[in-house]
Every structure is written in C-alpha cells, then in structure tokens.
A and B are shown apart, each in its own frame.
Chain A
C-alpha cells in the first residue's frame, strides 16, 4: 500500500539554525499538509498546500516557516531560525480528493538544543 515517507526520522539542531524537513507524499495525491505534535499535546495543523500554493495556514505558521514542492514529488517544511519551542514531532499528510482521508507519514522528531 502506498505510504507517505518522511526524512529524517530524527533531526537535532542548534537553536537559531535553519532546518528542512522532507516528505514524499503518496504519488497521485493532490493535497498536502504539515502538522506538529509537541510532547504531551494534541496534533496541531500547520499548513495545507494545493495546486502549488499555500491554501490555509494556522497561527502557528508564522514567517519563520515556509513550504515548497520543489520537484513534483517532494514536499518540504523549512524553519528558518529555530527556537526551543519548535521541538516537536512534525507530520506530513496527503490526500487525493476532498472526501478522502488524509494519510500520514511516521513523522520527524525535531529536537532544538
């Protein structure tokens, strides 16, 4: 069964550094998402992406965040200047139509030191 793939599984970064989290969505999917889960808290929506542009974003998704689909298969989340509070699990998800469920990757654990 097709899967959403995320790399790396764990990323350790110094505060203030830039980090790029990578995702390969399921190949025929059209809608792409990033979520995060801070330890002990609920999964929170960050951003949705459709037709090569951001379609919705949450309050969390401020100017330090950006997303890109550089080559038609990868979907990346960039955090420009990381802060301690960015430490979380980041999940990528995708779906193929408006009434289909989102399928999630296994996440990247981001640790900011």
Chain B
C-alpha cells in the first residue's frame, strides 16, 4: 500500500529556477510531514517539516506547502542550485495519535537534477 506517493521519479531544472517536488498521501491520520534529501551512499538528511496545523513553512530557499483537503504537499526550492541535485523523499507520520512513536512512512523519492 502506498500511503505516501511521489509520482514523479525524476525532475530536471535549470540552475536559478524554481524546483517543485510533489507528494500525495492517503492516510488522514498523518499530522506531521517532512522532506529529506539523500545523496548516494549517505543517509537521508532532514530538510524541512510541517505540522498539519500549518499550511506553509519556510526555511531559506526551501518552502513546504500543505493542502490538507487535497492531501497534498509540495517542496519549493528557489533558486535551485547544482548542489541541490539529490533524491528527495517525502515522509509522513501520525505523531498526535495515541501510542504512535512517530514512525515515518516514506514516498519512493524524486531524483532532482539541477543543471548549471
């Protein structure tokens, strides 16, 4: 079952332009969402998160938008840089629900390539 879906396996963007990575989820109990970046031979690195009580969270070049009614979130990177080239994973958890210890459900990832 795919509770968290990233439907684009890859995305190519020109340096300086905006990168938009999308993620959909099906479980309405999810209340905490995260984006991780992963380089080959490394573990996922936390980028940015958003709680379900918000619809936007911003950190420098990275902004995450959450649309609860559509069960959709997106990560915007602007401006994109060649060093942003990596696989980006969307993840979700149901922290606010009794007994949950916040285990993460991951999407399959989107490989972002930023061309100079």
Contact = CB atoms under 8 A, between A and B. Distances in A.
Contacts, number: 62
Which range holds the interface residue count of chain B? Answer: 20 to 34
Interface string B21-42: 0000000000010101000011
B102 A95 contact: yes
A39 B113 CA distance: 20
Secondary structure call for the A interface: strand
Interface in A11-61: 31, 33, 35, 41-45, 48, 50, 55-56, 58
Given A99-B51, A101-B34, A101-B49, A43 B101 contact: no
Given A43-B89, A45-B103, A104 B95 contact: no
Among A31, A42, A56, A98, max chain B CB count under 10 A is at A42
Nearest to A107: B43
Given A48-B102, A101-B34, A4 B107 contact: no
Given A42-B109, A43-B89, A98 B43 contact: no
Contacts of A56: 99-101, 103
Among A48, A55, A101, max chain B CB count under 10 A is at A101
6 contacts: A48-B101, A91-B43, A91-B44, A102-B46, A104-B36, A107-B43
